Amino acid sequence: MRMSLLRSASQHLRRRRDYSSAAASPERKVAILGAAGGIGQPLALLMKLNPLVSSLSLYDIAATPGVAADVSHINTRALVKGFVGDDQLGEALEGADLVIIPAGVPRKPGMTRDDLFKINAGIVKGLCTAIARHCPNALVNMISNPVNSTVPIAAEVFKKAGTYDEKKLFGVTTLDVVRAKTFYAGKANVPVTGVNVPVVGGHAGITILPLFSQATPASNALSHEDLVALTKRTQDGGTEVVEAKAGKGSATLSMAYAGAVFGDACLKGLNGVPDIVECSFVQSTVTELPFFASKVRLGKSGVEEVMGLGELSALEKEGLESLKGELLSSIEKGVKFAQES
């Protein structure tokens, strides 16, 4: 009975994630930096389940050997190795096709946003310096918060190292899309598995702009007030989880799922699967801002096309103008940190 349940769960995950068959898949190494953390551990599990991954490299400053041993017992394709500490970071990264970075600390009681920024910005800068040295051609998926600043930090580090390729650096905003889909489906009373909602802008507070006017399937059942409430709930999704966990945790499981979904999309793009489109925070000319989240077509070199915003509702146009100042400030803060530290 237990084996039957496990098989059923595995099959369900693969159907839900739309994994490709591994039979004709090339060898792909994925490195997760911060693999022993609250996001990193479930992300490691989900990437181990992905048949597109042939080698899974798990890195953190502590506890990674145990996580790697645990995950390695799962009977899927990926060979798992654990790495710990600065001395092993280079080996963890060597030959990686995709690097996913959930490393960093969550905001804790008494910690200001500036405190959080300084800690995580320093971590990201160090990791990106190592990426530039050991796997400069890898796609980099940035999960570490604040994404609106950590992506510009990574870009500056890569520029300084002479390895920057704007097609290969992504801020993972997929959790905003996941939440928008879930909340929209619940309010519109449609099956969530068939829902799609683009989310643009950034990855914090009011910089998160779900485009419910472009949601599919379309719904006429939602009032202006409903759309305002759905927008706010999507923007405040992280706070909702923190409060539900009584301040003892943040959105780790849903973020791991979102990270695995986006990582899977990147691998499919690398493998030449056509028409892979996801929202992501990337270098952009869609607006006057240097980085912006919108739909991105993925391919063998990373970003094949940064797609436009399409037609916006009056509510969304207002939201777009409202978010620009805060998003620009976060971008500039990241650039300044990277250049001065």
Identity of the residue numbered 250:
S
Q: Is 142 annotated as a binding residue?
A: no
- Does 255 count as an annotated binding residue? yes
The reply to whether 100 sits in an annotated binding site is no
Which of 29, 7, 147 shows the shortest CA–CA distance to 75?
7
Q: Is 40 annotated as a binding residue?
A: yes
| Residue 276 counted as an annotated binding residue | no
Residue 196 counted as an annotated binding residue: no
Q: Does residue 35 have a known ligand-binding role? A: yes
264 is in an annotated binding site: no
Counting other chains too, the contacts that 63-72 makes at CB distance below 8 Å and 24 or more residues apart are 63/36, 64/35, 64/36, 66/36, 67/35, 67/36, 67/40, 67/41, 68/35, 68/44, 71/44, 71/45
Q: Is 39 annotated as a binding residue?
A: yes
Check whether 144 is labelled as a binding-site residue: yes
For the chain, what's the residue count?
A: 341
Annotated ligand binding at 120? The verdict is yes
98 close to 28: Cβ distance less than 8 angstroms: yes
Of the residues 12, 73, 134, 203, only one is catalytic, namely 203
Contacts of 243 (CB under 8 A, 6+ apart): none
Peptide bond into 274 cis (omega under 30): no
Residue 284 C-beta-side C-alpha neighbours within 13 Å:
27
User: Which residues lie closer than 8 Å to 202 by C-beta, 6 or more apart?
Assistant: 147, 148, 173, 208, 281, 292, 293, 323, 326, 327, 330
Question: Is 37 among the annotated ligand-binding positions?
Answer: yes
Name 10's Cβ contacts closer than 8 Å, sequence gap at least 6. Answer: 49
Query: Is position 272 annotated in a ligand binding site?
Result: no
Annotation marks residue 203 as catalytic: yes
Q: Which residues are annotated as a binding site for NAD(+)?
A: 34-40, 60, 120, 143-145, 255
Which segments are annotated as binding site?
34-40, 60, 107, 113, 120, 143-145, 179, 255
Residues with catalytic function: 203
The annotation places the binding site for substrate at 107, 113, 145, 179
